Amino acid sequence: MWILPLLIALAIALWLSLKTAQFLNGENLLNLVPQAMPLVITAVGQMFVVLLGGLDLSVGSMISFTTAVLALGGPAWVLIPAVFVLAALVGFTNGFIITRFNVHPIIATLSMQYILLGITRVLRPVSGGTVPDVVIRAVAGSFLGIPMPVFWGIFTLAVAWKLLYGSRFGLHLFAIGGGVSSGVEDAAHNFGIADRRNVVLAYVICACFAALAGIFLAGRIVSGDPNVGLLFELDAITAVAIGGTQLSGGIGSLHGTVIGALVMALLANGMNLTNVSPFIQTTIKGAILLLVVALQSRKKMGL
Amino acid sequence: MTAALANPVMRRLLRVPPAYYVFAALLMVLWIARPNMLNLNIMGIFVRQIVPLGILVLGQLLVMRVRSIDLSGGGVILLINYTISSGVFPGASMAFFIVLALAIGLAVGFFNGLMVGVRRVSAVIVTLAVGIVLVGVVQYLSSGKPPGDVPGMFADIYNTKLGPAPTPVIFWVVVSAALSLFLSRTVFGRYVTSVGENVQAAHFSGVPVARTVVLAHTLAGLFAGIAALVQTASIAVGSVRVGLDLPILAVAATILGGVVFGRGEGGVWGPFFGVLSFALLFVVMTTFGVDEPGKLIAQGLIILLAAIFYGIRTRSS
């Protein structure tokens, strides 16, 4: 499932290096990693809920919210833990509402998207403020000659790898998702898996990864911005879908998701290098999303 | 809580769509806080503003009853607003614009329907993506700048009154009544109900499930086209931002009106009152000085609470 997107990524890279001289420029290649990183982190988080057959539309707002919180002013050792506590709370609320009140994930996370966006705009109506120095240095600096964003990537992948392939939770995730996608929602439950608890945990993980992406972005733009995460959830879902994860749940992989995010990042980089109008870029991204989901065949009709 | 939910009176009350309660509560608030605003003229103006949403909701309730959703309405409204106001068709007649708008709506709705009903793609993603593609196209064509003016005849019709009520409001009531009759009297209406109740059972009973879904989406596109015409007439100028938050509000009003995925107890009039509740809500929030972020939060909370309300009911029954 992930070989095709990898070939696509390589094809885009090859095409770009032939088409524009700037692409293989060292500066552009160095820029590519930090450019791709927020999407990689968010998409990896999103993958956890997509594997369950769910969807989290609130990650875009979560990212904006995180940058706004970080720009409130205050010591970093308060703000950074606070961001993760708030993210966990948001994820927990999403998961709780979905599992306990039987609300469809799309409705629950859509309303969360609005609530968070509202709170973000109260905290920070327009972009501004400054984020703690530690955050800026953790993104812009380098360690042992290697740029810091690389370490963010390694950290993200290590945590996600452990959660997905090295824990009982990951195994249960595939089991629950497999049941959902084949139309037997309580299959995993019947085998003794605590499905509700695991679903809630998946939403918490998704929100926490979004917060991590938000911290990274805050370090890059050095301020809080209520609109920085706008439509980010769609890019993340597109990346997950390109990477071969089935939106109906149960099938997917971490490396596929990362490749999917890289495809999206290369595409964005290429469109900027070739001076594609930013307005039509939205259309192109939308069309890609449409194409990717249309190619996924599903057994059942539905949301 | 379970005992309270089992109480027969409570169960009866729970069956009434929340829209009616919210509407009554907001009316009370307004009556206590600003009694002088409760006259037919002022209310007529407020309700007239909400008519585009009201018409969009008619399509939304249709697709939500067949367990689907349509988030592409914002893109459709933007595209139609752009074609009318940008002067791509100079000197075209009103009839031409109306036909064009309805054709755009039908085409987008039909495409959504094929994707959801035949290709079985995730409805949220498809309609969201279609909306984004359309918004991007309009922004590209207009380079982000607002286009020109809308032909004057749109505003002329929009501003007329039939007796005490503004024409758009009457039009909304008539279209809603027509849809209500259409759903209760035709075979298609029965198909919609049965697909919503249980897709598999409907399929095995010989209901053309895919065709019903395609038709529901096509009609939703048509309603989006009509909503775009009313919206365009109401603002009288072209805009690159018009109607973007309407699809979400339409989902909210539909759920508030007692129509959730597959279940249609609220009928057409539940969502109708859901829309009226939103009209009143915006009036109340404006009079109490709640600003933009507050409105966003309120919208989100309303969708969430209405959905939770239905979640609890599914469990208790």
- In this predicted complex, what is the ipTM? 0.85
- The answer to whether A50 and A164 have CB atoms below 8 angstroms apart is no
Report the relative pairing of strands B165-166 and B161-162 from DSSP bridges.
antiparallel
Which range is most confident: A126-130, A175-179, B4-8, B215-219?
B215-219
Q: Output the pLDDT for position A61.
A: 93
d(CA A79, CA A227): 20
Residue of A nearest to B135 (CA): A283
Contact A115 B292 (CB under 8 A): no
Measure in Å the smallest separation between the Cα of A179 and chain B Cα atoms.
Answer: 17
Contact A294 B119 (CB under 8 A): yes
Measure in Å the smallest separation between the Cα of B208 and chain A Cα atoms.
Answer: 13
d(CA A176, CA A192): 11
Cα B232 to Cα B51, B57, B79, B225, B235, distances in angstroms? 12, 17, 11, 10, 6
Indicate the average pLDDT of chain B: 86
Measure in Å the smallest separation between the Cα of B4 and chain A Cα atoms.
Answer: 16
For an interface test with A, give the residue of B114, B133, B138 to mutate (most A CBs within 10 A).
Answer: B133
Residues in chain A within 8 Å Cβ distance of B278: none
Contact A106 B124 (CB under 8 A): yes
Q: How many CB pairs below 8 Å do chains A and B form together?
A: 162
Residues in chain B within 8 Å Cβ distance of A246: none
Residue of B nearest to A108 (CA): B304
Contact A294 B121 (CB under 8 A): yes
Residue of B nearest to A113 (CA): B300
Q: Per residue in A114-126, is it b (16+ CB within 10 Å) or e — as a string?
A: bbbbbbbbbbbee
pTM over 0.90: no
Sign of CA dihedral A291, A292, A293, A294: positive
**Region of poorest pLDDT, from A91-95, A128-132, B255-259:** A128-132
Q: Output the pLDDT for position A223.
A: 84
Which pLDDT tens digit goes with each residue over B13-24?
Answer: 777 888 888 899
Contact A279 B120 (CB under 8 A): no
Tell me the mean pLDDT in the region B100-115. Answer: 95
Which pLDDT tens digit goes with each residue over A194-248?
Answer: 788 889 999 999 999 999 999 999 888 888 888 888 888 889 999 998 888 888 8
Which range is most confident: A37-41, A97-101, A187-191?
A37-41
Confidence tier at B314 by pLDDT (50, 70, 90): low
Tell me the mean pLDDT in the region A129-156. Answer: 83
Q: Which of B67, B132, B302 sits opposite A282 (nearest CB)?
A: B132
In chain A, % of residues over pLDDT 70: 99
- The answer to whether A45 and A205 have CB atoms below 8 angstroms apart is yes
Q: Which of A115, A247, A301 sits opposite B301 (nearest CB)?
A: A115
Question: Domain limits of chain A?
Answer: 29-231+246-252
Residue of B nearest to A114 (CA): B300
Q: What is the 3-state secondary structure (H, E, C) of A188-240?
A: HHHCCCCHHHHHHHHHHHHHHHHHHHHHHHHHHHCCECCCCCCCHHHHHHHHH
Residue of A nearest to B309 (CA): A101
> Which residue type occupies A239?
A
For an interface test with A, give the residue of B241, B297, B312, B315 to mutate (most A CBs within 10 A).
Answer: B297
Contact B300 A111 (CB under 8 A): yes
- The answer to whether A186 and A179 have CB atoms below 8 angstroms apart is yes
Residue of B nearest to A295 (CA): B121
In chain A, % of residues over pLDDT 90: 31
Q: Output the pLDDT for position B6.
A: 67
Indicate the average pLDDT of chain A: 86
Residues in chain B within 8 Å Cβ distance of A106: 69, 124
- Residue A190: pLDDT above 60? yes
Higher pLDDT, B160 or B64: B64
Confidence tier at B317 by pLDDT (50, 70, 90): very low
Which pLDDT tens digit goes with each residue over A248-290?
Answer: 888 888 999 999 999 898 888 888 888 888 888 888 888 988 8
Contact A300 B261 (CB under 8 A): no
Contact B140 A277 (CB under 8 A): yes
Structural domains in chain B, CATH included, are: 17-316 (1.10.3470)
Which range is most confident: A122-136, B107-121, B260-274?
B107-121
Q: Which of A113, A116, A280 sits opposite B140 (nearest CB)?
A: A280
Measure in Å the smallest separation between the Cα of A301 and chain B Cα atoms.
Answer: 5
Tokens of A196: 């509700």
Find how far residue B279's CA is from the centre of its chain. Answer: 13
Contact B251 A107 (CB under 8 A): yes
